[in-house]
Amino acid sequence: MSGSVGAESVKEGVNLRQVAVAGGVLALALVLGWGALSISSDAGYGGVAPNFLPWLVAGLLTACAARLVWQACRGGFPDMGDADGAEHGHWAGFAWVSAGMLLNAFAITTLGFILSCTLCYVLAIRGFRSAEDRLDLSPRIWLLDALVGMAISAPVFWCFTQLLAISLPGLTTSGWI
C-alpha cells in the first residue's frame, strides 16, 4: 500500500493512519519510560539495575516509532498488502477471549495461577473456535480443554516457582498447586 490519497493523507505520500500507528508506539514508549522512572536504579545482580530493561525497551520502541513515521511520510509501510481477514470483527469470539483474560486477572489471587490460567485458556479457546464457526459447548470438550489448559499452566507455574524462585499465586501454601 503506497501513497494513499484522500481523507487519510495530508499530501501525496503521507499516510495519516500509519503516522497515528507510529504515534501509538511512541505513546507506549513514553508510558514505559515514565514507569521506569519509579523503578530503583541501584545496581542489582550482575551490576544491572532493575530499571535497565524497561529503559531499553522504551528506547527501542522510540526508535521503532521514529522509523514508522519516516516510512509513513515516504509512501507508507513497505510490503503492506491489502487486508485479507474478515470485513468485520467476530464479536462473540472477542467476548469469549476478553472474558477469559479478565476472569484470569480477577481470579488469579483467589484460584491461584494454575486454575485461573486454565480458566483463561478454556474461555479463549471458545472464542477462537467461535470465530472459526466450530464452537462446541459439550461437557466433553469443556473437560478436554480444561485438561489441556492445566497441562500448559501447571509446568509454567512449577518452573517459575520451583526452578526460578519467582512467587506466583498458588491455590495452597505448598507451592505445588
What are the CA-CA distances from residue 23 to residues 62, 66, 70, 113 (Å)?
10, 9, 12, 35
Answer whether residue 5 shows pLDDT above 60: no
The ranges assigned to domains in the chain are 1-84, 91-163
Dig out the grid coordinates for 128 from the structure.
477462537
At CA 19, angle to CA 15 and CA 24, rounded to 5?
150
Q: What is residue 1's predicted lDDT score, i.e. its pLDDT?
A: 44
CA angle 29, 80, 1 (to 5 degrees): 115
Average pLDDT of the chain?
84
Query: Whole-model pTM above 0.85?
Result: no
Which amino acid is located at 43 in the chain? A
Query: How distant, in Å, are the alpha carbons of 11, 98, 116 from that of 125?
Result: 44, 11, 14
Q: What value does the mean pLDDT take over residues 18-42?
A: 90
Give the tens place of pLDDT for each residue, 64-93. Answer: 999 999 988 887 777 777 767 677 788 999
Q: How far apart are alpha carbons 4 and 14 in whole angstroms?
A: 7
